[in-house]
Structure 1
Amino acid sequence: MRRLALISLLLLPAALAAEMLRIDYSDPQGFGFNDPTPVPAVPGNPGTTLGEQRRAAFEAAVDIWASRLDSESLIRVEALFEDLGCGENTTLGRGGTTGLARDFFNAPKAGVNYPLSLAAALRGQIYSQFDAELRVRFNFRVDAEPCLDNISGYWYGLDPLTPPIQGTYSFLELAVHELGHGLGFQSLTERDNRQFFGDPPVPDVMSDFIFDLARDASWAEMTAAQRAQSDTSESNLVWIGPRANLRAAERLLPPGQITLAPDQPGSQRFEAWIQGYGPYLALDGLRARLVLAQGPGDSLPASDPWHRSLACQPLDNTDEVAGALVLVRRGDCTFASKWQNVFDAGGAGLLLVDNQPDGSAQAIARDFGIALDRNLPIPIWMVSDSTGLALRNAPVASTVLLGYDSTAPARGTREGFVNLEASPDNPDSNVSHFARSLAPRSVMNPFLSNSAFDGDPDLAPDLLHDLGWPDGTAKRGQYSGNWFNPERAGEGCQLTLEDGQDVPVLTCYLYRDGEQFWLIGNGVDRGDRLEFNEMIITEGADYGPAFDPQAVVLSDWGEIVMRPIDCNRARFDFQPFDPALPAYSSQMVKIVGGDCNLRAAQQPDRRRSGNYFDPQRGGEGVQLAVEADGRAWVLTFYTYLDGKQVWMIGSGNRLGNTIEFNDVVTTRGGDYGPDFDPDRVELLPFGRFILEFESCNDLRLELLSEDPRFPSGTREMTRIVPQEC
């Protein structure tokens, strides 16, 4: 895509004005965020010194939050490294507000304490008596010495497809977590006695939404003594904010279960435990044969029923394993090695059988975030020792259904509300985190992972919206523009927003068997994703004077889901209806990256972006987008040749009411999905486009072709969705 759209485009830096979150790195020279120590490169992070890599990771976390929130004011963030302990008392990081405010201008509730960051965002003014509205601190000793068992430091990689190396923690995940506390996911009560702050004590905004089901009361309605007791009430403590619970209802999964012989009378059901990270099974589960792993090199004696089933080396029974759910015993090697060997043998999933007795303190038979240093597309779930034996003794090649107990509430919820952490075993983490029982786990769980983090803050933004934070709806336009995968140059997607930025329109330009095709569809903003459930593909018309709109045939192609990480990075999930076309995902970036850390009022003017067509030539048209720098424009023309779809693309800069696109190209040679090879894509010069705006809804497009297949001509076009001029 970059080769297509940036042939003559000069990249210009985004303006530095009016950022939402301003970072103050307060470490001294030579330390922390300013550490000049040279370090090896890590995926996705441009830094060459330890300090540079730390800053790049922290700024990526800021972009994640700034893409999802809005503010009427600058919010100042102090960030630094400190000594936060080592050994049993090791703390990875701490984040929180620097002060409290109440009864400020625009305060949603009177007489209630708010964190300074939220108060400043709502009132439109910083608190000048403070140096910052929130502060985040990180433990420098984690990188400097072995403070935690099996942990050698932070992982500063930013590529969502590259998990941390074994024995490291994702610094990006930690930074997103601590910023979440500073933005307001923090109980503003005394930790020791849960007394409100102030003289006299004043309730905080979070306590309105912290609810104890056993007492049938919110924390704002309780005494300090009752709150202190409620603090460790386990699943009784829930969050009653509506937005977070709506998000939980669509994201959280029911308890796992495995059904033996699901289609037979008397089928048996066993409890299974969900791996805390993707890939996650769909709600209809995975139906497959059940096969016991068989391979060399196990330490177990021949008399052990699990002899040769540890899967620590390549499997011998690949013919059996292919397409099956594979039983593997815990022990001898890492979970990741077992997962890899089952995947390499063609297994459809791995069922890890615990080697510890049921109920043991060392048992992993629970929903668990397994540390995995790789990404593989098959599930890895767990069962207890006793369940594993029962499954092992089932008839050979039995069919099983690995899935969910749809009759039970979602993990980490009670009575329809998401649980907050309220464990008697870890009171320091209570209330200001989601419960560990959530599946999938949350970035705001009390314990971070040392596994993959793709940048998704899951339910946490919705909790902040419940507190009063403005969401990112007013800056939805930040996602508009052209997207491509750097490893799949030559294809991509273009997003614009119609009807006052409320209706996202997506076009994607792709290939099949060397020929171009394109898709178009309207979408819906779901808050954490954009869903395009009716992508359309067309055929049947011809180019230029031979075009006949009656010959255009429209068909439903499938669905595309866009899952932003921030305003410049997103995953696109392609889900075609045609069974001959596989579903796949592509990690894309903007061809012209923008500043994610902008408030809505400072977003580029995108009113001219959109979709235009000639009403007499329905079935072809153009999509025009101003890129994130506010200066570069990309135009894609969607048309036909001999009944087949064709697209041309070019970039240019606007001068007055005119944009000249001087290096327009069309292409050929690619293929769809996993078979795409960017080296096969050929760029074929088309010529030039000259676009002139005639009104806020109308334009004139002159096509100056150098390709004899496409005669030159002029199109008078209007917006598909007219806007108020």
Structure 2
Amino acid sequence: MRTHPFSRSAARSLIVAACALTCLAAEAATIKIQSRDPAGFGFNDTTPATPVGGNPGTTVGEQRMFVYRHVADIWEKNLDSNVEIVVSAGWEALTCTANSATLGSAGAWNIWHDFPGGKPGTWYPQALANKLAGTNLSAGQPDDGTGYGNVDIKTQFNINLGKPDCLAGNGFYLGVDGNAGGQVNFAATLLHELGHGLGFSVVSVSTSSGARLNAAGTAFVQTGGLPSYWEEFMYDNTAKKSWLNMTSPERRASAINPMQLAWTGKNAVAGAAMLAPLRQFKATSPTGPLPTMDYNVSPFGKLPQLGGFGVLANIVTQAGELGPGCSPFDTANAVAVRGKVPIISRGGCTFALKVKNAQDAGAVAVILANNVAGALVPGGADPSVTIPSIGVTQAEGALLKEAVTNAVKYGSRSKPGSVSAILMNDPVRKAGADLAGRPLLYTPNPLIGGSSVSHWDVTAFPNLLMEPSINADLTLELVPPKDLTLPLFKDIGW
């Protein structure tokens, strides 16, 4: 899983009269990349490499920098600013295990309030603040001792990715053609992380407490802090308030209110028309129909066909396995799922491995149930998986399992009662949007530090660049009908 810390933010304010610079005509942005890697490391790695996927570099370091420049060029073409955007870029040893890893992170290194062109009493990330002010707000301020104290954005990516103890075998793909296969697409990952540094982030609100950063930039406070530039566009459908008008406890509750926090900016709302119809299914048991449920499709295997899904069956967890479905099915489990659709809970191993084991046992499809509150969008890749699979919430998974267990007593000994389901599309709602068609922000419960609130919700389909995971179907587009990133940027002032 990728994590996104909101970065160290050197808080600044600038209270002066608007100057003539704010009236200059906007032009395409310019992004300057400053590598902080030492010789022979990161961007300076001289290990020979074969050109790949449109990347002509002949060393690992050259290829990394080529992708970085390629992605910076994409942002330059999509943004307007008269002020150069400076990014500090480096490779570091980030959190890793054999099965998971932090891919990278980025954030605004300086943030500002009360500057010409900005909304008074509101925090902004430096790149956007500079654009609105028409001048570099950190020009002339002393460096903080890091060597990059005046930059707009600081980024770091995992130097160990793909090694045996760091998401083994799944390193960064350094091509720019999107053909990453089972590797992690560095171009898409970098495009995403630079998006955070440029402004796709709540920046100055602690999502764990709802507290705002004080005007001095020294502490999060329950009352009296300054709002983030994002807050006026964040509307909680349960509280029926924007974050701008909430108390700290209300913002804290909203940050863990799954699929209820909507973005109200007019550009992103208009762009949300690109989202596909919400996918749903209706399950029926011998005692009657179950409530209609939402689902999300796995990126591996074939897509499930609307209009029929087969029979649901429960799986008995095998003794000693890491998690449900994580080991090849024994004889009893194989008999139970053959020709049917097992419900398998999240946990213990990858979604693709669970589905592959079920496929090998004869299952025709798999329903993956979350093990925490909120929607489940299964990730991963395995070209050997050919059956469809979908993700449902923890509550829906429990409801289905209970229905399957209760259905057995109906019917005959040779043919016990069963549960079946039919897939369909909601004719009104969009995947990843609320009932009003406004795109949803990511608010799982429990909170995921660094990811909650500052991403689009995982239920969006097609998948969006600024979701909390780098999905295999992403392009490097920022606008509809491929993506909603640039419409949100227009909402916040870019």
Question: Shared topology, TM-score over 0.5?
Answer: yes
Per-residue deviation, 1:143: 4.4
The one-letter amino acid paired with 1:101 is W
The one-letter amino acid paired with 1:83 is A
- Once residues 133 and 404 of structure 1 are traced to their aligned partners in structure 2, the CA distance between those partners, rounded to angstroms, is 43
Q: Is 1:465 the equivalent of 2:490?
A: yes
Counting only pairs closer than 5 Å after superposition, residues 228-377 of structure 1 correspond to structure 2 as 228-257=252-281, 271=293, 273-275=295-297, 277=299, 301=331, 304-305=334-335, 352-354=365-367, 361=371, 367-372=376-381
Per-residue deviation, residues 647-668 of structure 1 (Å, max 9, x unmatched): xxxxxxxxxxxxxxxxxxxxxx
Residue 43 of structure 2, aligned match among 22, 25, 33? 33
Q: Is 1:413 the equivalent of 2:430?
A: no
**CA distance change for structure 1 residues 41 and 75 in 2, over 3 Å: closer, same or farther?**
same
The one-letter amino acid paired with 2:77 is S
Per-residue deviation, residues 100-151 of structure 1 (Å, max 9, x unmatched): 23343333x2332221111222333333245321221112232455234x56
- Once residues 419 and 234 of structure 1 are traced to their aligned partners in structure 2, the CA distance between those partners, rounded to angstroms, is 9
Per-residue deviation, 1:299: 6.4
Per-residue deviation, residues 235-267 of structure 1 (Å, max 9, x unmatched): 33222212112222332431233799xxxxx99
Among all aligned residue pairs of Structure 1 and Structure 2, give the percentage whose two residues are the same amino acid. Answer: 28
Is the 1:300–1:307 Cα contact (8 Å) retained in structure 2? no
- Once residues 110 and 303 of structure 1 are traced to their aligned partners in structure 2, the CA distance between those partners, rounded to angstroms, is 63
- Once residues 246 and 233 of structure 2 are traced to their aligned partners in structure 1, the CA distance between those partners, rounded to angstroms, is 12
Is the 2:432–2:440 Cα contact (8 Å) retained in structure 1? no
Q: Is 1:154 the equivalent of 2:172?
A: yes
Counting only pairs closer than 5 Å after superposition, residues 62-77 of structure 1 correspond to structure 2 as 62-77=72-87
Please name the residue that 2:194 is paired with.
179
Please name the residue that 2:6 is paired with.
none
SS at match of 2:68: helix
Counting only pairs closer than 5 Å after superposition, residues 395-434 of structure 1 correspond to structure 2 as 402-408=423-429, 410-428=431-449, 429-434=451-456
Greater CA drift, 379-388 or 139-148: 379-388
Per-residue deviation, residues 158-183 of structure 1 (Å, max 9, x unmatched): 222x2332xx3222222111111111
Please name the residue that 1:163 is paired with.
180
Q: Which has the larger radius of gyration?
A: 1
- Once residues 216 and 360 of structure 1 are traced to their aligned partners in structure 2, the CA distance between those partners, rounded to angstroms, is 27
Aligned residues: 398
**CA distance change for structure 1 residues 409 and 125 in 2, over 3 Å: closer, same or farther?**
same
Q: Is 1:47 the equivalent of 2:47?
A: no
Is the 2:282–2:289 Cα contact (8 Å) retained in structure 1? no
Please name the residue that 2:128 is paired with.
118
Please name the residue that 2:160 is paired with.
141
**CA distance change for structure 1 residues 388 and 240 in 2, over 3 Å: closer, same or farther?**
same
SS at match of 2:274: helix
Instruction: Specify which structure has the higher proportion of strand.
Output: 1
Superposed CA RMSD in Å reads 4.5
**CA distance change for structure 1 residues 267 and 218 in 2, over 3 Å: closer, same or farther?**
closer
The one-letter amino acid paired with 1:250 is M
**CA distance change for structure 1 residues 62 and 336 in 2, over 3 Å: closer, same or farther?**
farther
**CA distance change for structure 1 residues 456 and 351 in 2, over 3 Å: closer, same or farther?**
farther
Please name the residue that 1:453 is paired with.
474
Is the 1:419–1:435 Cα contact (8 Å) retained in structure 2? yes
Normalising by structure 2, report the TM-score: 0.66
Q: Is 1:24 the equivalent of 2:39?
A: no
The one-letter amino acid paired with 2:490 is H
Is the 1:237–1:422 Cα contact (8 Å) retained in structure 2? yes
Residue 189 of structure 1, aligned match among 204, 207, 227? 204
Per-residue deviation, 1:371: 2.0
The one-letter amino acid paired with 2:187 is L
Normalising by structure 1, report the TM-score: 0.47
**CA distance change for structure 1 residues 244 and 379 in 2, over 3 Å: closer, same or farther?**
farther
Q: Is 1:382 the equivalent of 2:406?
A: no
- Once residues 252 and 355 of structure 2 are traced to their aligned partners in structure 1, the CA distance between those partners, rounded to angstroms, is 44
Per-residue deviation, residues 321-378 of structure 1 (Å, max 9, x unmatched): xxxxxx7998999959999xx9xxxxxxx96224x7xx57399x965244235699x9
**CA distance change for structure 1 residues 169 and 229 in 2, over 3 Å: closer, same or farther?**
same
**CA distance change for structure 1 residues 277 and 119 in 2, over 3 Å: closer, same or farther?**
farther
| Structure 1 segments unaligned to the other structure (5+ residues) | 1-16, 261-265, 293-297, 311-326, 343-349, 395-399, 470-725
- Once residues 180 and 113 of structure 1 are traced to their aligned partners in structure 2, the CA distance between those partners, rounded to angstroms, is 17
- Once residues 291 and 216 of structure 1 are traced to their aligned partners in structure 2, the CA distance between those partners, rounded to angstroms, is 40
Please name the residue that 1:435 is paired with.
457
Please name the residue that 1:201 is paired with.
225
Per-residue deviation, 1:80: 1.1
- Once residues 156 and 350 of structure 2 are traced to their aligned partners in structure 1, the CA distance between those partners, rounded to angstroms, is 35
| Structure 2 segments unaligned to the other structure (5+ residues) | 1-26, 141-148, 217-223, 313-327, 392-396, 408-413, 416-420
